[in-house]
Amino acid sequence: MTLTRHLLPDELDLLLDGETGFGVQQLTGHLRDCAQCRDELAALRAFVLDIETLPEMAPQFGFADRVMYEVHVFEPWHVAIRTSLAGWMPASPVMRIAGGTALTGAASLVTGAAAWGWAHRDATVFVGGLVTERAREGLFASLTATAQALVGPLGATFGSGLPLLGLAGATLLTGAGVGFLGLRAVAARARRLEA
């Protein structure tokens, strides 16, 4: 039984490789009758011979790394998370157990604190407001002290508060602007000297 169609590329590959398995007789029988498939097989054989006669070349060092750097491989989000977490996991099984125990303990502590805070909302809101107010006052006091140190004796005339902070901010901006203009002048002079 001969084929009523031309040979497919994988069938031509079988004949090109010299396969002798089941079904190859039907393909060789078709080759006797079809000049187009014979010509295509002959062209493939010539192509393989041409490739085999090419000189062997070794790529430059790092070629594969440069190519793979340009290849954008899609990585699902769950694989990306697992890969990034794997770098944080200890290699030793004992250390993994210890780390898991510590994480479980920390999570339990945070969960317990959150549950206690929810059960005692009034106390939590009071303590939170107190801590926030103290932190704000401490930050404002440290900014005021820094501003007074920055502007020096002029800070005594401004006292404290927002006017002093505004003066310190203006002093910082002025200093940064003068420094930037000075660097530009030095760079321009260096370019003129090189030319």
CA–CA gap between residue 37 and residue 5 (Å, rounded): 10
> In this model, does residue 94 exceed pLDDT 70?
yes
The pLDDT of 26-51, averaged and rounded, is 89
pLDDT in tens, 7-25: 888 888 888 888 777 778 8
> What per-residue string of b and e applies to 26-62 under the rule 16 or more CB within 10 Å gives b?
ebeebbeebeebeebbeeeeeeeeeeeeeeeeeeeee
Under a CB-based contact definition with an 8 Å cutoff, are residues 28 and 15 in contact? Answer: yes
Interval 60-87: pLDDT, tens:
899 989 998 888 888 888 888 888 888 8
pLDDT band at 101 (very low <50, low <70, confident <90, very high): very high
Mean pLDDT of 149-160: 66
Q: Is the pLDDT of residue 130 over 90?
A: yes
Q: Shortest CA distance to 21 belongs to which of 9, 33, 7, 11? A: 11
Query: Is the confidence at residue 165, as pLDDT, over 60?
Result: yes
The yes-or-no verdict on residue 59 having pLDDT over 70 is yes
Share of the chain above pLDDT 90, in %: 17
Report whether pLDDT(159) > 70: no
Higher pLDDT, 108 or 162: 108
Please tell me the least confidently modeled range out of 16-20, 92-96, 100-104, 158-162. Answer: 158-162
pLDDT at position 2 over 70: no
Supply the angle between the helices 162-194 and 121-151 in degrees, to the nearest 10: 50
Domain boundaries, the chain: 9-52, 120-195
